[in-house]
Structure 1
Amino acid sequence: MTDQVATNPIVLQRADPHVLRHDGQYYFTGSYPAYDRVVLRRAARLEDLQEAPEVTIWSRHESGPQSHLIWAPEIHRVDGAWYVYYAAAPNDHGTADAPGAHETFNHRVFVLECTADDPLTGEWVDRGQVDTGWESFALDATSFVHGGHQYLVWAQQHLAVRGHSNLYIARMANPWTLATPAVELSRPEHDWEVKGFWVNEGPSVLVRGGRVFLTYSGAATGIDYAMGLLTADEGADLLDPASWTKSAEPVFVSDPAVGQYGPGHNSFTESPDGETVLVYHARTYTEIAGDPLWDPNRHARAQVLPFDADGDPVWGTPVPDTRPVPTSTEVLAPDGAPSMAFVTP
């Protein structure tokens, strides 16, 4: 594999991409542009995901806390079962929840479970909301198993902290229940994290070479959106904030030279040869008509993440596109054809 997969983007019009490699297959999910469902697709190669059939495994409720703005699903495999963590809200507007805060949406974190071998055909059970310890805007949950324990990392607003969301971690009793109180790992504090919005969100975890790398995204989702990094030793107490070192500068940013803007909300997977692969979304333009929330053209991309002799990631810059991409607000069907299933509000 070179520094990129054969075809990029790997999936068109799917923001917040999450890829899991299991038994030689890549499982992909991400935010559906209508924000009304959770979808999965599967392929043997990353570059085949765009053409892979997409299956809806869960749809929003007609009313209640899981009825609007279904965001950033992630698929995980824990103890022989499949789990999808996603965020949902009771409405499609925000509220000003804290002094000095901008409007914040009303999301909470929820979990789906499937115990069948095939998550595309098996039954998914709604395990409900994850109780994170307090009720406020919460989203972008990710999970990892380390040292025999499952952990949850997520973004949530705290009314005592200025801004929209901080990063928290907790150990889990089971895949839908926390076993320990939430511990804050990071809050928006550096200049690059507070451009447009005060945000730490979209965490993802990579354990490699004796260290735990925790990436996240900050700032508003336009050209300023970028990825940050926290690092801990593999044997450290991950629930101790002192175990983590936060990089002051972003590690992955927009690159006008290749027409990639706002790279972020990443996940990690691996190549068939065991190389680490960075998956993320980005746009190809900076001028957005209307509300950016409803612009569908954050496309999922992937590239090999190399490491230097000291075991540090060499983040580099977003790779250029090798596939034509849409630049209008028309939403494409999974096969790349125009679809009228979604109409921009």
Structure 2
Amino acid sequence: MLDLVESKLSQHEAFRADVLAGLSQRQKTLPSRWLYDQRGSELFEEITHLDEYYLTRTETAILRRHAGEMAALCGDNVVLLEYGAGAGIKSEILIDALKAPRMYVPIDIAADFLAQTAERVRDRFPGLVTRPIITDFTADFDIPSDIPAHPRAAFFPGSTLGNLGGSEAAALLRRMREHVGDHGEAIIGVDLRKDVATLIAAYDDRRGVTAEFNLNLLRRINRELEGDLDIMAFAHEARWNEPESAIEMHLVSRKPQVATVAGRSFAFAQGETIHTETCRKFDIAALTHAAQRSGWRVDRIWSDPAELFAVFGLRTEARALRLSSAAAQA
């Protein structure tokens, strides 16, 4: 319980620092990880069921179709580390296919939501040890010593890698490589480039759930940082950034206004935006190159018939070289 309290306190300070720094920039920006408080996590789960949001159902279909092959890549008795676990729905598909998994380690910043996920996985797989880690997985952190060092596999579905900048994504891939060790594997989902109309619709649905998800960040600021932001004076907007190959989510100020957050005042011009999320879209070559630079080798790529989404199966470079050498000697 003490660890949970300390984690929440440290998250509060980090949230405060990020918000004050982000709103002080010329282009006001807030890190997307803060979208996922309890309410934000619930709204995102609702988003995943929307008609326009093809990502989740497409990736889920890939996982169901190829779970056996992914489990074979991970190997027997594996410790499965899931980064940004959220509701853990996709992880259940993989866990169900694994042979005698040793431990499931969901990692997420939303403590309350993570606790619910861990409890549901324990109920579904009562023989599996489930050990959640409450942390910001986009920052450096160590895997606790009570978690077996090997064999380990990293699981990172949902195209969350696309929410990170190039250097952040590379750092996370390297961190996963360190966490799984020389003998590890990884399974990573990414959204692929496609027509802009399909992409915009996925992040600006007709029901307005994504808009509520984005605006919830302002409500969180008001609640946790003594803010007085006028929620109705902001509008959700999704836009395509061609040079970055990314969908961007913004909160647009509908009028000139001044708001107070944590005792500091911030002015907004009409039409000025707060940039809240970047969702980069990949091609196969780009992600293959990024993985190789971070110490991974691409072993398998699974996709859907329309090539909307791809799931990469990676082995550490050391592991891939050992298997290649063993195969050559056989």
Return the TM-score normalized by structure 2. Answer: 0.23
Higher helix share goes to which structure? Answer: 2
Higher RCO (CA 8 Å, separation ≥ 6 residues): 2
Q: Which has the larger radius of gyration?
A: 2
Return the TM-score normalized by structure 1. Answer: 0.23
